Structure 1
Amino acid sequence: MGRILLICRLALRDLRRRPGEAALLLLATTAATATLTIALALNGVTGQPFQSTRAATAGPDVVASLAWPGQSEDPADLAGLEALASAPGVAAHSGPYPYTQAVVEANGVTVRAWTQGRGAEAAAVDQPALVEGGWVADGGAVLEASFAQAIGVDAGDAITLGGRSFRVAGVAVTAAADPYPKVCLAPCWFGVGAESRAENGPPRTRPRPERGPPSGPPEEPSFWIGQGGLVWVTEADARGLATRPGSLAYVMNLKLTDPAAAPAFVRAHMPEAESMLFPVAWQDILYGHARVAEWKQTALLGGSWMLGLLALASIAVLVGGRMADQLRRVGLLKAVGGTPGLVAAVLLAQHLAVALVAAAAGLLAGRLVAPLLAEPGIGLIGRADPGPLTLPVAGLVTALALGVAGVATFLPAVRAARTSTVRALADLPRPPRRAGWLIAVSARLPVPLLLGLRWAARRPRRAVLGVAAIAVTVTGIVAALATDARRYAEKAPGDDPRTALGQVLSLVVVMLVAQAVVNAVCVIWAATLEARRSSALARALGATPGQISAGLSAAQVLPALGGALLGIAGGIGLAEILDDDPVAVPPLWQLLAVVLGCVVVIAGLTAVPARLNARRPAGEALRTEPA
């Protein structure tokens, strides 16, 4: 107990002597732990609201739609849907309901919508739940909630549907379709059914009868696959909106005796390739609603690991700089009987203590912020509560904090423990590493670049950490810009709900920039501390204070420039990995702004300590050199 108490007292005294450094470590580690906590809290947040919506709307277990793509002039054959309704395992069904596509115009927004015909009576399976207004009537349309919000309409407003004027009778939610703009019925393919269809080969359109060569311009396809919403009208209005027989399709909602077996049911009842009957399991519809939350979670998980890497670099640089400043104190501790293990334990204890506080602060901050990012969207009923703070979650977050602090402190602690007592008491500076090629290259450079290049080469591991820190930061920023560019490139008309991902990406970018600034401050502080004697010697040999200041800035700017260039390639690659869609390269001006921004920020952060160091009298710095 006496040894443990001694280690704790020494570690606490070290932290109290340098509160600013402890605060930087706390901030760096808290950012990583808070981001990881938010990401873990978002796991499965959409499941509960989706199940509530299924219960309120008698949600189907399988949605089967039937249509013919292309320029078909024949109506869909309902035999396949009727066979599904009597298939083993089907407990109830509703439909088939007719549907077509029509162009919706409202508030200056023009977008296509899947327009489904419904009766006035409630359906046994999939009866959309009204959140505003009433159900369908002649000349009245009911819009799916996320679609209504996107185009900015409410009950009672007027819209144009297929060139005809309709009144918005109500707004409703459903568990039988993806939210806007991902609503898709046959001839669209996704989920388990698409995987099964791929095994049978691509679908083929119904052959057209021989009628001689076509005359006039080609007809438009019966259905357009792309961004769209969902509208319910009366069956008579749906049939009236169909421009030709081939543009009228049908959908049926099935209730199974075992809802969990919906994917297996879909696989078992996928028709041959020439049929356009397409069943979809409710699990695939749930994934469509959870996609936005999943994007947020993926962005936060990636951000937490990036922030963890930056915290690792910050702690490693800070600990290394402190060891250079505290080498004599280590010698005194050894001289009075401290063992190498005791020296290493003191260094580890103070940083592990900061990590424990950071883990607690990150868990608290993450729990407070998570509800703000857990909204399931207006297309579902109920609120999405973040996952509970369980022991595994707390353990994982704490392990991240302790792991970052332990890994970053281990090597400096071992190096300090192995330093001889005599050398530590003498407080001799570490001899610089000299390379013939570097001396030859730098000899012809201007004095600031000569000094900067040689100072950077004196501590190659620190230079590598600086490059890695900037590369990680720029990787995150460029990945966010690429993802944002992709989202806006495919942005649906109106208020696309997928742009909510930009909020999370902005949060991650802000935290990455803040963490990078912390890391840069740690690197600059350590570099300025170690350059006191060498810069004083350079001044004694004729270098001016301005050249010394510019040299210190160059020593930090050069690694930052290399890291920024690596980060651009890494960010585009990361965006390609995280997004199923093709990557969109950000505009050139944005990439140049990121690179120049890194250089300017690093140069600005270095300017103040470098100028203060350059103003210090050279004789005073050199007198600290032992004889």
Structure 2
Amino acid sequence: MGRLLLVCRLAVRDLCRRPAEAALLLLAMSAATTALAMALALQGVINQPYQSTREATAGPDVVASVATPFVGGRPADLAQLQALASAPGVVAHSGPFPYTQVRVNTGSVTLPAWVQGRAAATAAVDQPTVVRGSWVREGGAVLEASFAGALGVDVGDRIALDNRPYQVAGVAITAASAPYPKVCLAPCRFDSAFAALTERPPKPPPGTPDTFFVGQAGMMWLTEAETRGLARYPESLGHLINLKLTGQAEAFSAAHHGRRINEPALVTWQEVLEGHAKVAENVQRALLVAAWLLGLLALSSAVVLVGGRMADQMHRVGLLKAVGGTPGLVAVVLLAVNLAVALLAALAGLAAGRLAAPLLVEPGAGLLGTADTVPLTPAAVGLVIAVALAIAGLATFMPAVRAARISTVRALADSQRPPRRTSWMITLSARLPVPLLLGMRLAARRPRRTLLNVAGIAISVTGIVAALAAGANRYLEATPGDDPRLAMTRVLAPVVIMLVVQAVANAICIIWATALDTARPLALARALGATPGQVSVGLAAAQVLPALAGALLGVAGGIGLAEVLDDDPVAVPALWQLAAVVVGCAVVVSVLTAVPAGIGARRPAGVNLQAELT
């Protein structure tokens, strides 16, 4: 029989003999690979809808705007803005168009808006596509689609612009500005543009009113005459021009961007796309963090499963060596089992991630079309498979090496690895009640397994608390109305669910391994007088105490992780939420431990004591 065929047959037989363990390992790895695959599949998911919108609306390559920051300030350089229309590389333009700012009131919501004046005729560059209603007319306002959704209004509704009544004539989509609430025209400037200024905005004299309230706002269109009439001050009227280029937009922007606050501020189509893709990028970042946390949990589960299975397989290892199997063959067989599960988990994660990714991110009302499924590149597929195989390989390497090195006689004797006993632990626990005494000694029996338990709970709670903090941040930063950025919170629910499921799977693995390893010691405790109830509580305490320690570490780690991932000050979740997470960990671990503890308590102590005591 060929060596490869032998390895495959032994690996398949091992999987068939222990389907529950293989299923747990598959579940643990699939969660990590699915999250990673979804994050990789979201790369560029908004690109196609934005490009479709650009084509439908004759989207500009660059939008240039000028405005005066405060009343009495240096007048905007409109001549320099108009000169951009004839700059080298410009093949078409529209404008200059006037714009100002108003407060839009619907009766229940009041929001700021940039109002752009437009003619009824079709513009050569940036002609917004009307998706409902009609284009601008006297007394009729056209709202950008995401802004209309935030206000909760539609065609025919009545609104007030600085207390002047208007009717919503239409709802339109444009590729020339970011969606609500990220619309930005001069004197607003993107961070990179602001950093390029050689002259910082001067401070106005005390009591001088601003011409614009720069901040979160939406976009709408009126006739040019009505736009000019809404300007609060003569300086409250800015102008913009839309440019179509033959060359690169970034190079044109760098060459012509104004270095003073009253000179044109240029925004490229790539910066507008970045505004639309911000939600998808936040979702992708959350999924990448979740993938690494789930990967660490999967590694913890795999280490416990493989270690526990090795204790149960030692006799089989001895048989393989007795019939001529080399140490290398023994190690390869053990690796093959887990690598096969890892490969299956990677394929399942790739399929699930590719299908689920577009469901987590919609292009939003401000773009045409839907978020298409982005094909995973060979590099992305290779990364997912490599991560799964690395988890399996790291978890199996040390047990496989130990199995390969163990002597045939010792393996055939099937003697368990003796636990570590420390005098200080014996002294410390001697005066405790019996259940706590048993719990502490069982936890100290396998310190590495106990540390894995602490680490697994800490990783899970870190992810859950970070998700709660991220959700709290989003709601604190939310603008009035239906803020589309809150869509990012939709991904936090599945992330939390995956972390909880993975944590439960990890806890089951540790409890299963602990129950197998402590069957004889607990039977001995019962033989010496401990009641079944005390034994059950002791086994639960051995799991709950590390779980509480891990939960407390995870709370601190989750708040720290949220601080690292968010540029804004972190919003600490409510105290009741943190308390619920910590208490929930203890309750879940107690419930999971109750099943094997109850089964062990009902078995006669003599059954386990018939074997050699450890």
TM-score (norm 2): 0.96
Which of 204, 228, 232 matches 2:221? 232
Letter in 1 for 2:157: D
Letter in 2 for 1:250: H
> Which residue number corresponds to residue 612 of structure 2?
625
SS of 2:49's partner is helix
8 Å contact 1:73–1:244 — kept in the other structure? no
The CA deviation at 1:602 is 0.9
The CA deviation at 1:236 is 1.2
Letter in 2 for 1:472: I
The CA deviation at 1:71 is 4.2
Letter in 2 for 1:323: M
8 Å contact 1:374–1:386 — kept in the other structure? no
Query: Could you tell me how far apart the structure 1 residues matched to 2:613 and 2:217 are?
Result: 77
Tell me: CA distance 1:76–1:397, structure 2 relative to 1, closer, same or farther (3 Å): same
Tell me: CA distance 1:149–1:430, structure 2 relative to 1, closer, same or farther (3 Å): same
- Report whether the alignment pairs 1:204 with 2:199: no
SS of 2:184's partner is coil
> Which residue number corresponds to residue 122 of structure 1?
122
SS of 1:525's partner is helix
> Which residue number corresponds to residue 507 of structure 1?
494
The CA deviation at 1:191 is 4.8
8 Å contact 2:71–2:233 — kept in the other structure? no
What does 1:132-531 correspond to in 2, within 5 Å?
132-197=132-197, 200=198, 202-205=200-203, 218=207, 220-258=209-247, 260=248, 262-275=249-262, 277-531=264-518
The CA deviation at 1:349 is 1.0
SS of 2:479's partner is coil
Identity value in percent: 66
8 Å contact 1:43–1:386 — kept in the other structure? no
Which of 541, 566, 571 matches 2:558? 571
Q: Which runs of 5+ in 1 are unaligned?
A: 209-213
The CA deviation at 1:113 is 0.8
SS of 1:326's partner is helix
Query: Could you tell me how far apart the structure 2 residues matched to 1:352 and 1:508 are?
Result: 25
> Which residue number corresponds to residue 25 of structure 1?
25
SS of 1:115's partner is strand
SS of 1:255's partner is strand
The CA deviation at 1:375 is 2.2
The CA deviation at 1:322 is 1.0
8 Å contact 1:148–1:171 — kept in the other structure? yes
Query: Could you tell me how far apart the structure 2 residues matched to 1:572 and 1:70 are?
Result: 40
Alignment length (residue pairs): 614
The CA deviation at 1:482 is 0.9
Residues 424-481 of structure 1: per-residue CA shift (max 9 Å, x gap): 2222232221223222322232222222122111212111211111111111111111
Deviates more, 1:53-62 or 1:68-77: 68-77
Query: Could you tell me how far apart the structure 2 residues matched to 1:203 and 1:589 are?
Result: 45
Letter in 2 for 1:202: R
Q: Which runs of 5+ in 2 are unaligned?
A: none
8 Å contact 1:191–1:280 — kept in the other structure? no
Tell me: CA distance 1:73–1:397, structure 2 relative to 1, closer, same or farther (3 Å): closer
> Which residue number corresponds to residue 211 of structure 1?
none
8 Å contact 1:549–1:610 — kept in the other structure? yes
8 Å contact 1:203–1:276 — kept in the other structure? no
8 Å contact 2:37–2:353 — kept in the other structure? yes
Letter in 1 for 2:52: S
- Report whether the alignment pairs 1:534 with 2:509: no
8 Å contact 2:318–2:408 — kept in the other structure? yes
SS of 1:414's partner is helix
Tell me: CA distance 1:529–1:100, structure 2 relative to 1, closer, same or farther (3 Å): same
SS of 2:131's partner is strand
Tell me: CA distance 1:455–1:19, structure 2 relative to 1, closer, same or farther (3 Å): same
Query: Could you tell me how far apart the structure 2 residues matched to 1:510 and 1:624 are?
Result: 42
- Report whether the alignment pairs 1:598 with 2:596: no
> Which residue number corresponds to residue 102 of structure 1?
102
Residues 213-235 of structure 1: per-residue CA shift (max 9 Å, x gap): x8xxx465322222211110011
8 Å contact 1:426–1:626 — kept in the other structure? no
SS of 2:530's partner is coil
SS of 2:556's partner is helix
Letter in 1 for 2:138: D
8 Å contact 1:520–1:602 — kept in the other structure? yes
SS of 2:167's partner is strand
Tell me: CA distance 1:276–1:543, structure 2 relative to 1, closer, same or farther (3 Å): farther
